[in-house]
Amino acid sequence: MIVVFLGPPGAGKGTQCKSAVDRYGLRHLSSGDILRRERQEKSDLGKKAQTYMDAGQLVPDDLIVAMMMKEFENHSDAGFILDGFPRTIGQAQALDQALKKNNNSIDAVLNLQVDDDKLEQRVTGRRSCPECGTAYHLLYNPPQKQNLCDNSCGELDQRPDDTAEVVRNRIDAYHKQTAPLVDYYQKQGNVRLLDGNLTIEQVTLKLFDIMDSLLP
């Protein structure tokens, strides 16, 4: 099964992908996670991507397409769920070509939509523990002690691109460069709308309904 998640920053793509990955045994390929790993390793790609990411802009297509093609080659054994890729028409075309070459195609594009006025608050409140990875939200799931991990690890981190200023650029990039993909995939007839304004649990149930219907 190959599933693509579309949606603005803060829509809950990462959270929903994790539930789907656990239930359906798919591989979660998050282009943002891969880029953050490259940055930590201080690779050439990581260094090139850094300025774009910190400014809330998209990393150029040639770098992203090469990076994702390498991931597909390394994980050709499993079905996967794509989170954050493709994000431009150019990336979507490159993905279509690569899948066609292997006689594969996308089973569903999940369009997770959230009202714009909710996105900024969702993103700027995100925190995580650098030690154990536990995720928090200052409003919806706060730690017991201010800015400290409940598992006694220490202080929580905020992603540098989750600040109010940068997130506005990311939302802007989504509208200009990524939202047109909904039309692109609608022409292929495989877009499914998910209302991301609902609670996490409600979205997960609807997601499972859609994914169950894709099973052979």
Q: List the one residue out of 109, 110, 108, 86 whose CA is nearest residue 195.
A: 110
126 is catalytic: yes
Q: Considering beta carbons, is residue 174 or 204 the nearer one to ligand AMP?
A: 174
- Which residues, other chains included, contact 123 with Cβ-Cβ below 8 Å and sequence gap of 6+? 9, 10, 162, 167, 170
**Interaction between residue 84 and ligand AMP (CB under 6 A):** yes
Q: Which of 122, 126, 127, 192 is catalytic?
A: 126
Q: Which of 13, 122, 127, 192 is catalytic?
A: 13
13 is catalytic: yes
The H or E element spanning position 66 is helix 61-74
Pairwise CA distance, residues 80 & 14, whole Å: 14
Tokens of 15: 């959270």
Q: List the one residue out of 134, 157, 161, 133 whose CA is nearest residue 147.
A: 157
Q: Which of 18, 27, 36, 159 is catalytic?
A: 159
> Given the rule CB under 6 A, which of 84-92, 132-140, 186-194, 197-205 is the region that contacts ligand AMP?
84-92
Q: List the one residue out of 110, 91, 150 whose CA is nearest residue 19.
A: 110
Which of 7, 12, 32, 196 is close enough to bind ligand AMP by CB under 6 A? 32
196-to-35, 36, 76, 150 alpha-carbon distances in Å: 25, 25, 30, 27
**Interaction between residue 52 and ligand AMP (CB under 6 A):** yes
> Given the rule CB under 6 A, which of 49-57, 103-111, 131-139, 190-198 is the region that contacts ligand AMP?
49-57
191-to-27, 86, 151, 194 alpha-carbon distances in Å: 20, 14, 40, 10
**For the window 93-132, what string marks contact with ligand AMP as x by the rule CB under 6 A?**
----------------------------------------
Q: How far is the CB of 58 from ligand AMP (least distance, A)?
A: 4
Q: How far is the CB of 106 from ligand AMP (least distance, A)?
A: 15
Q: Given the rule CB under 6 A, which residues bind ligand AMP?
A: 9, 31-32, 35, 52-53, 56-59, 64, 84-85, 87, 91, 161, 170
Q: Supply the residues annotated as catalytic.
A: 13, 87, 126, 159, 170
